[in-house]
Structure 1
Amino acid sequence: MRYKILGVAQTEDHGTVVTPGGPRLRALLAALALRPGQVVTPDTLIDEVWADAPPQDAPGALQALVGRLRRTVGKDAVASAPGGYRLAATRDDVDLYVFERLVRHGTDALDRGDAETAARHLDEALGLWRGPALADLAGHAARPEALHLEATRARVEAGLRLGDAHDAVPRLYELTAAHPYDEPLRALLIRALRAAGRDADALAAYEDTRRTLAEGLGTEPGPALRSLHAELLAAPVPHRPAAPSPRTGNIRPRLTSFVGREAEIDAIRAGLRTARLVTLTGPGGSGKTRLAEEAAAALPQAWLVELAPLDRPEAVPGAVVNALGLRETVLVTSERASVQDDPVASLVEYCASRDLLLVLDNCEHLVGAVARLAETLLTRCPGLTVLATSREPLGVPGEAVRPVEPLAPDQAQRLFAARAAAVRPDADAVLGDEEAVSEICRRLDGLPLAIELAAARLRLLTPREIADRLDDRFRLLTSGSRTVLPRQQT
């Protein structure tokens, strides 16, 4: 038996995962798993299960709760002992302690300079994390959460040493937004931007760090950050790179089938033949990104620009430069900033003589900057076409706006079935409850992201159980693919 407390408390026996019903039952399991093999006193368990509101007969209520837990995990799993109760397990049976051990091995390997071994251990550790840690046991999450952040930093560091700077940058932007005063994370972001050839963004990231620390804490960056800044200022300005060899685009093949919107793809492609700017609009989770990628995938010279990680309007041209494989170089001194290579000018020069399709994804939070850049490029580059996704139109002359509607009921059910087949070998059997599947798709408003997340829960629940729990959908529909951006994981 394995015990999982890096999230909602669960048990796993020979691959079968069980989530005990009821928050107090899960709290009792978590309290015992936190101390595997140790006798835990009734007073401690009562304090942790009921916190400040214990029942009148707390010892009797605890005894009854222990009985329920034994029926869930097995009568021999929770032993009575002089002075309390003991979970018959070792630290190797509890994911929290396995996580701690793997993180320790990973950071030790990193300290030895073995980035490959470090990445392997840290990936295994982070794969155990379902978070938030000890969700059923208030007051014990601080140390695991701090260790999770340490493991995340170490994994990014290992990736940088292995040459994964481009993949690290979007993740680091999100991490620094969540932990704005974490100087080691800020330093990793600056190093990743520099390694990716984005010196201008690295300098901007340092300036943002300096301003954030000054305004929020009244402090200046520490020695490590100041040293990085000095290295950036001292670095020689590279020569303008030669034009890249011809490429056919950067839209990667998808790992899952596309379901339900074949007619819309044809309509978008037809729209791109008559309008040079087409914008797909709709709420978050409606499938704008996937629809745009599918429409562009078969077209020559289609380039995807992911704008979601950006938080500054002035970074938009640089993001397009990077997506196209060009590079922006800026030299900043303490007295003035001297732009050696204007990114907008570089884009105009590159695109003016080429037939290209730019897919500008997730424009809504930078809509003004995206609109200005799109209008500049479209007016000066006759062979350029733009396909944008946004929660609102760009408002550029000549723009064709196509709202992305929710999936029709039959499309939604096809998508649910397709994703169910990926997580359940017996998908056909569980999908026999057509009424529950139809209810899920209807109550989720035909939103593809929500439907995919609901289908992923079939690992643990039946369609009827999912439908019955949709009143708490913001806790149920989580734990999406680890390789997508956090906004697409929930």
Structure 2
Amino acid sequence: GRPAEALAAYERIRERLAEELGVDPSPELRAAHLALLRGEAAPAPVSAGRRGNLRAALTTFVGRDEDLGRLTGLLAGNRLVTLIGPGGAGKTRLASVAADRLADAVPGGAWLVELAPITDPADVARAVLDTVGRRERTRETVRPTLRDTLGRLVDAISADETLIVLDNCEHVVEAAARLAEELLGRCPGLRVLATSREPLGIVGEALEPVPPLRLPPADASPGDAAVYPSVQLLRDRAVAVRAGFAVTDDNVADVVEICRRLDGMPLAIELAAARLRTLSPRQVAAGLDDRFRLLTGGSRTALPRHRTLRAVVDWSWGLLTDDERRLAERLAVFPASVTAESAAGVAGPAAAALLDALVDKSLLQVVDDGRFRMLETIREYGLERLAAAGEGAGARAAHAAYFRDLVGTAEPHLRTAGQLPWLRLLEAERENIVGALHHACDAGDADTALRIGAGLALPLTIWGDDGGIGGDVLARALALPGPTPPGERAVVLAIRVVTEMFHSAREPTPERVAELTDAVRAAQGSGHPLVALLEPALSIFTDDTAAGIAAVDRARGHPDPWTDGTLLAMRGQIRENDGDAEGMVRDLTGAVEELRAVGERWSLSMVLSQYADALTKRGDFAAATAALEESARLVRELDPTAEPGFQLIWLATIRARSGDVAGAKAELRRFVADRMADRDGRDAAFGLMMLGDIARLEGSLDEAGECFAEAMRRQDEAPLVAPQFRGLLLAAMAHLALARGDVPGARRALDEATVRGLSARDMPVVAIIAVGWVAVAEAEGRYQRAAELLGTSDALRGWPDRSNPDAQRLAERLRAALGEDGYAAAYARGHGLSRADALAFVGGDPAR
């Protein structure tokens, strides 16, 4: 009802469009707008007189809104914009929609010139002239010269602002580039939007890559998947051939797999959607192993090279030179990204110079940090060609050899202060390294497989083994016949044993320990630095403390400083498990000094955490805090995105023990909230356990129960949980049961906790569980047994735990109940038991 304000607003909008986008309505369109705003009868629709040859779309335009906005902005500030991308990326559709959006603002019209049918570069200019409707109607007996055609073309488009879309320039790219440059120079009102698999390469060209559609994560739910353009496109096109198709809980995993394996490429997704007329999503996903046979049957009216997936890639391959084609085929053996160095290492020194050409022709995509990626469909095509030429095995062997040597070169650096760039490199090449490992196993190359596997020992320890490298593939490597390096074999077998132990949550079998023992003996003198650590490590499985310490003493003075410092740390661990707390602290103090001098971060961080734990039990909270903060800093240096879970939780716990309970609870709640979304629930469970323990000690029993229940649920959902960690949680729950007066419930929790702690042979954990049995005995009025158990707990640990409020309170109450002399005598009886008798006493059953 306020036409004057509407008219003023319209003019402001029009001026801003003209300023920022370089577009302005034609006089006719402006008159129509103004008439509508005044409430008058509008003139005849200007679209009736719209010039150009753009056709109405028959399907929805999905997933390119951001790309469209960016493209129209580029066209506002540049007279030549080229959309580049691989075949099937949707360049033509994006260009057509952008041209349609701008058509009303160009009086000379928006024209789509299809160059795909052109076979002779000399015909490019004539195709443009024919398209814009200026073709002479008289029969020409002589083919016009390029100069004549250019002249007519300039005459046709120089009068008004015009937009020309040169579609599919790649096979006539030089002719298209020359024509664009000539026309833009002679026609000031002209804008050109080109689509091509490579740039035109002329001055003034603005490039706009057309990326694949965004992909959902592999584990996306139906609701989450539906917001991703690739899934939207598949769903929309599937509905057209199969009414009622929807993404559901039953098919979401297959729908997501289809989109991800097709790299989010629109044409490939549309071809896959067409197959959903007769196949289920699961059948289509499974059929992608032979995608070129499956994805056929595109539109009858589409260009021949867009009717099948193979035709799309055939067209791209045909545009390469022989050298580019050979390189693209060899790069297909990379399961992940490529660098100039790795390309040269696998395909020869000339490869690096050709990478830019493959990028220009959209056979490679540029990713971060000088890396290139080949889309999976193009990779599958390249592998087919390699196999057909009989060159697949040789190219894969070259790939495996390159990454074997890379891992071997990196390994010594990983044990030094200069480890970070090498860790980053191995992380970036992780998929390629695993691919090389698999190929070596497939080819029966035991030497390569074991060298790669052994070289990954420290990285896997630092990263974790989420990719399952330590599982079946290393089992295959160990089973390969033929001569193998003994040091690498021993290291790989150790990785395998540890992996099995964590997956089964059980100690290795005696047969497995014997096999590892034989491998370690065979590897003596091999010179591999990790072999020196394996013999002491065996004592953890055999529970032979003396043998472990003797093995460390023999190996000390190792020429590798990192190995020497780690040996000292291992001796500290062995002594801790033997109840020699003072010896443990001496060794850990020395190990910290030696590993600080080396500068390797992961081992120092782990040793500092152990050292802090010992200091905490000794009651030196200030020194423990400093050690934990240094440990946390080292973890962040290794991975700036990582949050050092153990260190943060233990720092909060020390804060609570030092009196700042409110601050500690706030830190733990913040930590748990941050970790609740993690699929691996161990960190959240640990934080919840400590939070529950603080709440119990405060008397907030319901809050403690909620924390423990959630910690148990998170543990149940975690992929791997060490038995001793479950034992700790059960022990904490036993103390809560006692606080509620439920002695039978406490006994049940401690029975299971004891089994788990003893199965892991983790004496510090068994000592904590023993404190729970002390509390049960006290609750039952068996004060002598309670004091004896407390002595046994301290003996297993090596000293009293001054950080454990339960142990301290129990000791005070038992002294009061038994008297100082009676308490001291009972405590001494428990403290003086042998290891075997102490464990039987804690377990309550000698058979345990």
Q: Where on the TM-score scale, by shorter chain, does this alignment land: which range?
A: 0.3 to 0.5
Higher helix proportion = 2
Higher strand proportion = 1
Q: Comparing both chains, which one has the higher relative contact order based on Cα–Cα distances under 8 Å and sequence gaps of 6 or more? A: 1
Q: State the TM-score, normalizing by the size of structure 1.
A: 0.48
Q: Indicate the structure (1 or 2) with the bigger Cα radius of gyration.
A: 2
